[in-house]
Amino acid sequence: MPTATVSLAIIGQGVMGQNLALNFASHGINLSVFDLNPNHVEHSVALSQSLDGTILGADSLCDLLTQLPPPRAIVLSLPAGNAIDASCDALLEAGLDREDLVIDSGNCHWDDTLARQQRYQGKLRFLASAISGGEVGARHGPSLMISGSFLAWQQIAPLWHTIAAKADNRNGQPLPTVSDNPNAVPCAGYVGPDGSGHFVKTIHNGIEYAQMQLWAEAYQLLKQHGQMSNNAIAALFKQWQLGPLQSYLLDCTIAVLEAIDEVTDTPLLPLIVDAAGQKGTGTWTAKASLALGVAAPSVHSAVAARAISSQKALRQQLSQQLASSSQAALSAVELQGLHSALEQALLGATLINYAQGFEVIASQAQQQQWPLDLAAIAQLWRAGCIIRTPLLQTMAQALACDPDAHLLEDRKIQQRLNPTLPLWRRTLLAGISAGVALPVFSSALAYVDGLRCADSPANLLQGMRDHFGGHRFRRYDDPSGALHHHPWPR
């Protein structure tokens, strides 16, 4: 059998690696795959039989390297951490060339990516290609965030553009990956140097955490306070899907609310244990924001909510011991009011969540001297990724108009946010009085109220710091900005 000319290789044929391989093959791109488990390789090869491109299985890294024409492009689809270094070392031992490209598609920490680029300099070219979209995205069109050498990116860009999700550049709506729409643009792009691709993906995940938590809080409020069934909540969310809340995570929410368990043939959701897992990117986002001194309370609250959720036994105990709030059933009119208020609260809190994420990216870019284009990043998220929503089109436009401004300074964002605020407050009042925890809704509104407060109480903090620690303070009546100390009576 004649051997196909392969364009790239993928190491790691787990769920993501395999779906990515099938995506390339379905676009007629031939590739080689390797996995420590030969069954995974065989499975990928078998699945590709009906596709336009060929997937060649390799039984060793040496075999993989002989299948690839130089300069080689090898994607790692492996768990973040030591597996990446081990693979690079093994590839070098197998004969990798200094011009060859190793492309890390995992959720790696950006500092580790930079360290790898430095460690392997002169031995191989190390590129980050963060991927979002889960297994469906990997198979049918992910969002891809690349960083490292721009020249290396140019080598793979045509392939990446082919398999990436596509968005309509006029309205931000996702399009099929193969589209003759002249406005279709691929959601794959060069983000910047170093590990900036992995950094941007991490912030994407932080936004994902807070967005998921918002939907979970909305669900809890409707269930506990509105006494609605899961099916009724799904029906309401379907109506919202037609408006500005349209988003992939809302699709997911509805799918989970409606799912029927295969084993018991009963609704799935009540069978799922209410303790959230996490792999760490939400915490990385929270830590990054703290280290940068940027307020991103939405992701902080979302990470904390996951931690509280995992304390199942304690929650069960305290649910019997701490005073609860009395709840009268809502009238139909009150329930209708709650729906309208909550829809607006969700819109407001969503805008704030993304705005915080872009603030963290902007601050990191400044600190690291990465020339990141925030509008282009927003555009990369318009299709394929988990946090895709048409609202990103408005955000991308705002970020393009004034890249240095906070998103809340944009007139169009203000026009969307302002009407939500009174109803957002009403939503919180309902939640607080019913004893429903709404941590992301609450912290995000506090963020807005903090930012629109011209005279903050930080003068009191500064006075206290000077009182007990002699930390000194600036005075309005001294434009020099000099620091002053008050002679506190002791």
Contact pick of 17, 53, 133, 195 for ligand 6PG (by CB under 6 A): 133
Contact call for residue 247 and ligand 6PG (CB under 6 A): no
Task: Identify residues 368-407 at the interface with ligand 6PG (CB under 6 A).
Answer: 385-386
Contact pick of 19, 26, 44, 107 for ligand 6PG (by CB under 6 A): 107
**Do 388 and 413 contact (CB within 8 A), yes or no?**
no
Stretch that binds ligand 6PG, among 279-287, 345-353, 431-439, 447-455 (CB under 6 A): 279-287
Minimum distance from residue 480 beta carbon to ligand 6PG (Å) = 48
Contact pick of 87, 105, 196, 281 for ligand 6PG (by CB under 6 A): 281
Choose the catalytic residue: 166, 208, 343, 359.
208
Q: Which residues contact 127 (CB under 8 A, 6 or more apart)?
A: 101, 102, 103, 104, 146, 147, 148, 149, 152, 153, 156
For residue 437, give the nearest of 336, 313, 301 by alpha carbon: 301
For residue 395, give the nearest of 422, 362, 370, 420 by alpha carbon: 362
**Do 104 and 132 contact (CB within 8 A), yes or no?**
no
What Cα–Cα distance (Å) separates residue 86 from each residue in 111, 123, 212, 461? 17, 14, 34, 50
Contact pick of 7, 113, 117, 132 for ligand 6PG (by CB under 6 A): 132
Closer to ligand 6PG at the Cβ: 72 or 306? 306
Bridge-based pairing state of the strands 31-34 and 125-132: unpaired
**Do 33 and 9 contact (CB within 8 A), yes or no?**
yes
Per-residue b/e over 243-276, b at no fewer than 16 CB within 10 Å? Answer: ebbebbbbeebbeebbeeeeeeeeebbeeeeeeb
Helices (H), 221-296: 230-240, 248-258, 281-292
**Catalytic residue at 93?**
no
**Catalytic residue at 223?**
no
Contact pick of 149, 169, 181, 278 for ligand 6PG (by CB under 6 A): 278
Choose the catalytic residue: 201, 217, 343, 359.
201
Closer to ligand 6PG at the Cβ: 83 or 94? 83
Minimum distance from residue 377 beta carbon to ligand 6PG (Å) = 14
Minimum distance from residue 52 beta carbon to ligand 6PG (Å) = 25
Closer to ligand 6PG at the Cβ: 279 or 486? 279
Q: Which residue has the tokens 């959230």?
A: 276
| Percent helix, percent strand, percent coil in the chain, to nearest 5 | 55, 10, 35
Minimum distance from residue 249 beta carbon to ligand 6PG (Å) = 11
**Do 384 and 132 contact (CB within 8 A), yes or no?**
yes
Task: Identify residues 20-79 at the interface with ligand 6PG (CB under 6 A).
Answer: none
How big is the chain, counted in residues? 490
Residue 451: how many CB atoms within 10 A of its CB? 13
Contact call for residue 208 and ligand 6PG (CB under 6 A): yes
Minimum distance from residue 284 beta carbon to ligand 6PG (Å) = 10
Minimum distance from residue 253 beta carbon to ligand 6PG (Å) = 15
Contact call for residue 136 and ligand 6PG (CB under 6 A): no
- Catalytic residue positions, numbered: 201, 208
What does the binding site for ligand 6PG look like in residue numbers (CB under 6 A)? Answer: 107, 132-134, 205, 208, 277-279, 281-282, 385-386
